[in-house]
Amino acid sequence: MPPREKKSTEQEETLSSSTPEEIQAILWKAADKLRGSVDSAQYKEFVLGLIFLKYVSDAFDEHRNKLAKELAEDGVSDDRIVDCLEDRDEYTGAHIFWVPETARWSWIAANAKSQGVGKLLDEAMDAVMRENAALTGVLPVIFNRDNVDQKRLAELVDLISDARFGGNEEKPAQDVLSEVYEYFLVNFARAEGKQGGEFYTPQSVVRLIVEILEPYNGRVYDPACGSGGMFVQASKFIETHRGRGHNPDIAVYGQEINQRTWRLAKMNLAIHGIDGNLAGRWGDTLTDDMHPDLKADFVMANPPFNISDWARDESDVRWRYGVPPRNNANFAWLQHAVSKLADRGTAAIVLANSSHSSPRIEAEIRRAMVEADLVACMVALPPQLFRTTQIPVCLWLLTKDKSPQGAKRLDDRRGKTLFIDAHGMGEMVGRTERALTEADLTKIADTYHAWRGTASAREANLSYQDESGFCFSADMATVREHAYALAPARYVDTGPPVALEPPEVPRSGPAALMKDLYAIFG
């Protein structure tokens, strides 16, 4: 217990907060301060780690001030208030991370110059992790190193001190931080180019997956979770459709191969108040599955496309439909997803377009998966959704059970596959980047829900009909006729060719002959 202190006037009112836009501007300047002095791969850890520490400290102070005010109004003595303010149960019970005194931002800012900012920050990160089990091994302890410019780091701390993550009547502190965190993930992904795609999936793609799957309850799994965007969007989906006060009935499981990205994901879930199981450490899902016994109700993933150097074990039990080729892991990811599905689970996997019509070994695996009636839907997505790659992509929807499933009263779709061609959708949101619009997301999701006969489709009085140029429900025989190639363009009818009427011409000479020929061969 630290020495008792007198109650300050600051404890009598909550901290004022910056707008998300102001915080974003402040912190992007902070990132610029590190440019050239820190390896670009460490940008995210430095800046997002400091943002997180500042947030937990501000949230702690906000709750502390609120608690002090309530106790004073109840007539509690000053000495007793001081004791209560240092009772960790008062914070953890309100889902606030406990922040030891020497890890609080006010302490760091006051002592940075005299005690060394890098040393204080590393000690603060260690202290917060030590006091909060959910953050063990998550926060970066990288500030007190020879290659870190301590002068610039001190300037960065001063800049971040100007950002207040305290909440207000319109927006809780958690929402302010989540918006800032998302802003930085997007911008770091853009700044890092191709490498940025390893940890960030465009929001419209994530939203499409979540809107289609409707993960209201059950086990949600992402085998290549990146920074955790799928889980965050699933939580937002529940909040949007069930209300902020609804307690999400989902259990989150994930795995990530990159150590730094795994830490970002853990911080991202903590920021959003999501208690997820991302395993005890990072690791390669295809070679070291850290959730071996998991059976998920929803699998959602944007795994790396067309991996050509993956470590293949031909005896792996997951390759039930065929051993994936050494030079491409796409069908390893698809079969891994199937292996993780509960009996009535559904998976949504983003892959390169080559996966739906590739030849040889992959064609045989695709045939086996179709014959096993695993493919529920194929969606052709528009180009340029991924700023980090120009590879065209598609969405695979897999399920083990296309029956009505009893009480769910779904439409019987056994032996059928839905094909949706959305390649012409979306609008440009930058010079090289496209995003699906709200109308696009609604149309694609509603089409799938109507085809499957979900509860949401019944509530909205939706019924499925093939739509020329957009969607088609194919039976198994039709897919066989196409040699198990699953490109939606092969199935979606673009309508009959328009018959060109011949012009009116005189009934004599070459023109009359041409009209006669039109009549015969038209």
Confidence band, pLDDT 50/70/90 cuts, at residue 130: very high
| Number of domains the chain is built from | 2
Res 315: pLDDT: 96
Amino acid at 13: E
Q: Kindly state the average pLDDT of the residues 208-235.
A: 93
Q: Does residue 400 form part of some domain?
A: yes
pLDDT at position 433 over 70: yes
Tokens for 150? 């301590």
Res 21: pLDDT: 74
Could you tell me if 172 and 269 lie in one domain? no
The larger pLDDT score, comparing residue 12 to residue 223, is at 223
pLDDT at position 505 over 60: no
Cβ of 443: how many Cβ atoms within 10 Å? 18
Could you tell me if 15 and 122 lie in one domain? yes
Res 497: pLDDT: 40
Q: Kindly state the average pLDDT of the residues 316-339.
A: 97
pLDDT at position 486 over 60: yes
Phi-psi region of 258 (alpha: psi -120 to 50; beta: other; left: phi over 0): beta
**What's the CATH code of the domain at 157?**
1.20.1260.30
**What's the CATH code of the domain at 364?**
3.40.50.150
Res 35: pLDDT: 66
Share of the chain above pLDDT 90, in %: 50
Could you tell me if 178 and 209 lie in one domain? no
Q: Kindly state the average pLDDT of the residues 344-357.
A: 96
Res 368: pLDDT: 98
Confidence band, pLDDT 50/70/90 cuts, at residue 270: confident
pLDDT at position 252 over 90: yes
Mean confidence (pLDDT) of the chain: 84
Could you tell me if 297 and 377 lie in one domain? yes
pLDDT at position 506 over 50: no
Q: Does residue 521 form part of some domain?
A: no
How far lies 114's CA from each of 108, 109, 146, 297, in Å?
Answer: 10, 10, 18, 54
Res 243: pLDDT: 54
The larger pLDDT score, comparing residue 46 to residue 255, is at 255
pLDDT at position 216 over 50: yes
Range of the domain at 434: 199-490
Cβ of 32: how many Cβ atoms within 10 Å? 11
Res 508: pLDDT: 42
- Give which of 170, 513, 470, 220 is closest to 347, Cα–Cα: 220
Res 350: pLDDT: 96
Confidence band, pLDDT 50/70/90 cuts, at residue 39: low
Could you tell me if 111 and 180 lie in one domain? yes
pLDDT at position 511 over 50: no
Residues of 62-99 as b/e, b for ≥16 C-beta within 10 angstroms? Answer: bbbbebbbebeeeeeeeeebbebbeeeebbeeeebbbb
Alpha carbon dihedral 174, 178, 181, 186, in 10-degree steps, equals -170
Q: Kindly state the average pLDDT of the residues 247-262.
A: 87
Q: Does residue 264 form part of some domain?
A: yes
Could you tell me if 180 and 239 lie in one domain? no
DSSP characters over 410-462: ----TTEEEEEE-TT--EESSSS-EE--HHHHHHHHHHHHHHHT-HHHHHTT-
Confidence band, pLDDT 50/70/90 cuts, at residue 261: confident
Q: Does residue 190 form part of some domain?
A: no
Looking at 185, 219, 244, the residue that finishes a domain is 185
Could you tell me if 107 and 210 lie in one domain? no
Tokens for 491? 């199935």
Q: Kindly state the average pLDDT of the residues 68-81.
A: 89
Could you tell me if 292 and 397 lie in one domain? yes
Grouping H, G, I as helix, E, B as strand and the rest as coil, residue 224 is coil
Q: Does residue 276 form part of some domain?
A: yes
Q: Does residue 511 form part of some domain?
A: no
Q: Kindly state the average pLDDT of the residues 482-488.
A: 96
Share of the chain above pLDDT 70, in %: 80
pLDDT at position 2 over 90: no
The larger pLDDT score, comparing residue 340 to residue 203, is at 340
Contact indicator for 270, 320 with CB cutoff of 8 Å: no
- List, in order, residues 6 or more apart from 201 with CB less than 8 Å away: 226, 229, 230, 302, 350
Could you tell me if 40 and 125 lie in one domain? yes
Res 33: pLDDT: 67
Res 392: pLDDT: 85
Res 352: pLDDT: 94
Could you tell me if 145 and 244 lie in one domain? no
Looking at 162, 185, 208, the residue that finishes a domain is 185
Length of the chain: 522
Could you tell me if 229 and 359 lie in one domain? yes
Could you tell me if 33 and 132 lie in one domain? yes
Looking at 138, 161, 185, the residue that finishes a domain is 185
Report how far residue 477's alpha carbon sits from residue 428's, in angstroms, rounded to the nearest whole number: 38
- List, in order, residues 6 or more apart from 14 with CB less than 8 Å away: 62, 65, 66, 166, 167
Q: Does residue 342 form part of some domain?
A: yes
pLDDT at position 493 over 70: yes
Res 141: pLDDT: 93
Q: Does residue 454 form part of some domain?
A: yes
Interval 376-432: pLDDT, tens: 999 999 998 987 677 889 999 999 999 999 999 999 999 999 999 999 999 998 788
Report how far residue 328's alpha carbon sits from residue 452's, in angstroms, rounded to the nearest whole number: 31
Interval 164-174: pLDDT, tens: 665 555 666 66
